[in-house]
Structure formats: C-alpha cells, structure tokens
C-alpha cells in the first residue's frame, strides 16, 4: 500500500536518511524503531510532504507521491499524526477534528458521512467529547496528542502515519492509545507506527524496521525482532 524505496532526505546541507526502503502492506501495522535522532520523524515528514525527499521513490496504492506537496498527498489518502501534536490552538476541539476531513469537504476525497465519522472519532477518545467546544490550545499535552490522532483519522485514510502517539501520556492513557491502535488495526487500517515503547509497538505490529543513523539496520516480522538479541538489548530494555 505504501512503499518507500531508497529514500534520501535531510535538512539544508545535512543528509539524515541515507537511502531507506520500507514496505507497508495493506491492512498491516508496520513499526519503525530507532534511537533519538535516528531519523524516524524525518522519514514520516519526507513521506507526507512536510519535507521534500532528495531522491528515492514513495508510492501510495501504486501511485507515485514522491516530493508532492502535503495537501496533494493527503488527498491521495495519506494521513499524518505528527510528532509534537501540532493542533490549531485557537480552534475548538471539534473544528480541529473536522479540519482533518478538509479534502472530503472539497470533494477531492470521497465525502462519506463526515458528521458520523466525527462522532466516531470523539467516541474513540471520550476525553475529547467533554471538551468538544474547548479551544485546542487549552488542552493538556496528552489531550492534544489524542486530538492529533482523531484529526488524522478524519481523512478516512488509506494509510496513517503515527509519530509517537503515546508521547506525553500518563501510563493509563498510553494503554488506551495502544488499544485504539489495535482497534484500528482490527478495522483494517494500514499504519506506519513510531513509538518510544518499542516492545508495545512490536506487540501490535506485524512487521518492524530498525533505523540506525539514517539506515535500516534490521527488519523482519515483529516476532523475529522481539526475539533478536541485538534488538532486545538496544531497544527492548535488556536481554530478558
Ligand atoms: N528541522 C530540522 N532542521 C535541522 N535538523 C533537523 C530538523 N529536524 C530534525 N533534524 C535532525 O535530523 C536528525 C533526525 O531527527 P528526527 O527528528 O528524524 O529523529 P527521530 O528518530 O524522530 O528522533 P526522536 O526519537 O528523538 O523523535 C537529528 O539529528 C535532528 O537533529
Ligand atoms: Mg521523532
């Protein structure tokens, strides 16, 4: 569904990604694991059009989207819940979520029932229901994180990129976010997931890639990675 081939990307003169290839098959959850600064967020930005790749090829459903602007990529069906939330602070919670459906309002994506989907997104995150008319800028960090996920889902996407969806959340809410990811997977939603909780990410994922200094060091089924001694030692908190 989403394929990344030999992608090079970076900022100004610095190259961060030195030719990475990732395949996210339809209906699967693929996780990208790596240390701070490895290039996980950069990968997502280069895929969703927040930055322009230097070379390589990205396709969505067989169509090339490499280097297109982010709005066009969203219309093609790729939703990105970015690291650090990025909600619109002076808009209400409900309006922030609706904005995710913008390409559906303009009919550049199939319209469907936007109001029903808004209710569904809210119901997935009950804390947002109570805060429907509150300005997004006044939400707690964790609530903003949930809002960013709900907004991404409103595109009715073919593929969702989730960059650290549990960041800043209290443990009980981290669990809630993983339950939601599991539920979305059950609905057949294709996801590329970056998570600080690598073990939990491998539990929900089908397949994983380990990114080290802008290169894919290892990849394999989630089970294989969970049992790989080097992966365990470096990313899963020891060898036990
Ligand atoms: N806007 C930017 N301008 C310049 N350099 C950047 C920018 N954003 C990230 N970088 C650099 O690119 C490298 C990769 O960063 P990136 O955010 O992709 O890492 P990451 O794997 O997502 O890390 P983390 O786990 O901390 O989120 C880092 O060295 C970082 O300093
Ligand atoms: Mg990051």
Residue nearest ligand 1's atom 6 by CA: 11
CA distance 192 to 48: 12
Rounded mean pLDDT of the chain? 94
CA distance 85 to 145: 5
Residues 6+ apart with CB under 8 A from 32: 22, 40, 43, 192, 193, 194, 208, 209, 211
Is the pLDDT reported for residue 10 higher than 70?
yes
Task: Indicate which atom in ligand 1 lies nearest the CA of residue 35.
Answer: 25
- Residue 9 Cβ < 6 Å to ligand 1: no
What are the structural domain ranges in the chain? 2-84+157-235
Residue nearest ligand 1's atom 28 by CA: 37
103, 154 in Cβ contact below 8 A? no
CA distance 41 to 32: 10
What is the mean predicted confidence (pLDDT) over 5-17?
97
Percent of the chain with pLDDT over 70: 98
Residue nearest ligand 1's atom 26 by CA: 36
Which residues share a beta bridge with 10?
Answer: 15
Q: Which CATH superfamily is domain 2-84+157-235 in?
A: P-loop containing nucleotide triphosphate hydrolases (3.40.50.300)
Cα angle 80, 37, 86 (rounded to 5 degrees) comes to 35
Q: Give the per-residue pLDDT at 240.
A: 47
Residues 6+ apart with CB under 8 A from 233: 239
Residue nearest ligand 1's atom 18 by CA: 39
Q: Give the per-residue pLDDT at 238.
A: 58
- Residue 236 Cβ < 6 Å to ligand 1: no
- Residue 42 Cβ < 6 Å to ligand 1: yes
pTM: 0.94
SS3 annotation, 29-93:
EEEEEECCCCCHHHHHHHHHCCCCCCEEEEEECCEECCCCCHHHHHHCCEEEECCCCCCCCCCEH
8, 56 in Cβ contact below 8 A? yes
């Amino acid at each position: 569904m989403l394929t990344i081939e030999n992608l090079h990307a970076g900022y100004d003169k610095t190259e961060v990604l030195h030719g990475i290839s990732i395949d996210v098959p339809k209906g699967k959850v693929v996780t990208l694991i790596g240390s701070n600064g490895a290039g996980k967020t950069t990968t997502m930005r280069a895929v969703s059009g927040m930055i322009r790749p230097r070379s390589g090829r990205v396709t969505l459903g067989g169509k090339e989207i490499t280097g297109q602007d982010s709005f066009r990529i969203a219309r093609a069906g790729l939703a990105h819940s970015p690291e650090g939330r990025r909600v619109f602070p002076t808009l209400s919670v409900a309006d922030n979520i609706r904005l995710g459906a913008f390409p559906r309002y303009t009919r550049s994506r199939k319209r469907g029932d936007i109001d029903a989907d808004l209710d569904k997104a809210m119901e997935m995150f009950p804390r947002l229901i109570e805060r429907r008319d509150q300005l997004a800028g006044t939400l707690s960090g964790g609530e903003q994180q949930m809002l960013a996920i709900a907004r991404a889902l409103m595109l009715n996407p073919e593929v969702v990129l989730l960059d650290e969806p549990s960041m800043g959340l209290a443990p009980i809410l981290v669990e809630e976010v993983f339950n939601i990811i599991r539920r979305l997977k059950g609905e057949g939603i294709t996801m590329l997931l970056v998570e600080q909780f690598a073990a939990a990410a491998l539990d929900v994922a089908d397949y994983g890639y380990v990114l080290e200094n802008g290169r894919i060091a290892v990849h394999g089924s989630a089970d294989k990675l969970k049992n790989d001694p080097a992966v365990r030692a470096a990313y899963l908190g020891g060898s036990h």
